Amino acid sequence: MVKFVLRIKKKSAYLPRYPVSCCSILIPIELENRPTKMFRLRPLALAASATRYNAQHHLARPVVSTTLLRRLQSTVSDSIKHDHRELEEYYTRMMTTSDPAALKRWQNQFVWELARHSVAEEIIVYPALEKYCPDGHAMAERDRADHQVVKEKLYTFQDMDPENPEFLPTLQSLWEDLSHHVRDEEGHDLPALEKALERSDSEEMAKSFLRTKHFVPTRSHPSAPNRPPYETVAGMLATPMDKLRDMFAQFPREEEKKKSAEMIG
């Protein structure tokens, strides 16, 4: 059994802002007839290794928006809505292709984006709703409940074979719940949050949201906590293993990425 030991190197009042420098993970690995060795794992180093491995072996990587600079100058609502449009595009891709290999690539992309988006909202956005909006606690609790339903369905969907007869029905059921949540969030929660924030505060929150997405799990873990600080720590434990899996997963090809980015805008 592999045991994870979290070592905090320095304290931070706002852990998501410093997800790499403040922690490392020690993994004791027991080898047959040999002393146990400790391996230190840092999310940023692992992400960099994955990028180098993909480049060396010509593996497709997850789609990352080409409009990142513009998003860094946007409000938190703009960033969240952009993620929603990306997820809609990936869903449409899966529903309109019959090629199992392409389905698998877009499935991996959809899971990768939705898992990161959900956790980043729970760490950055929902605490802000509770802090700044008069009815924020009720809104955040409703959103967390919506996320839990989506996470459980995503957990079922993320390892499904595209040739499984239940693949598309499972995806459609997941999307029905997710799209309902998106409508509520964009129609009610985000406008209320923007009304309560100064433009500069919203832009700072957008930057924190985008930063946090780089260091959270890339797969669904529905049994994990859904609020900081416990979710932050649990994410640090799960993220390295998720990123290792991403290193060997198939994601959309370059031409598919380009066409998808053009559709999203």
Could you tell me if 245 and 175 lie in one domain?
Answer: yes
Q: What is the pLDDT of residue 56?
A: 47
Could you tell me if 25 and 156 lie in one domain?
Answer: no
What pTM was estimated for this model as a whole?
Answer: 0.75
Could you tell me if 12 and 108 lie in one domain?
Answer: no
Domain count, the chain: 2
- Within the chain, which residues score under 70 in pLDDT? 1-73, 263-265
Could you tell me if 23 and 67 lie in one domain?
Answer: no
Q: What is the pLDDT of residue 71?
A: 52
Could you tell me if 15 and 95 lie in one domain?
Answer: no
- Residue 21's domain comprises 5-42
Q: What is the 3-state secondary structure (H, E, C) of the chain?
A: CCCCEEEECCCCCCHHHCCCCCEEEEEEECCCCCCCEEEEECHHHHHHHHHHHHHHCCCCCCCCCCCHHHHHCCCHHHHHHHHHHHHHHHHHHHHCCCCHHHHHHHHHHHHHHHHHHHHHHHHHHHHHHHHHCCCHHHHHHHHHHHHHHHHHHHHHHCCCCCCCCCHHHHHHHHHHHHHHHHHHHHHHHHHHHHHHCCHHHHHHHHHHHHHHHCCCCCCCCCCCCCCCCHHHHHHHHHHHHHHHHHHHCCCCCHHHHHHHHHHHC
Q: What is the pLDDT of residue 179?
A: 98
Could you tell me if 123 and 12 lie in one domain?
Answer: no
Could you tell me if 182 and 255 lie in one domain?
Answer: yes
Could you tell me if 185 and 71 lie in one domain?
Answer: yes
Contact 252, 105 (CB under 8 A): yes
Could you tell me if 171 and 198 lie in one domain?
Answer: yes
Could you tell me if 213 and 232 lie in one domain?
Answer: yes
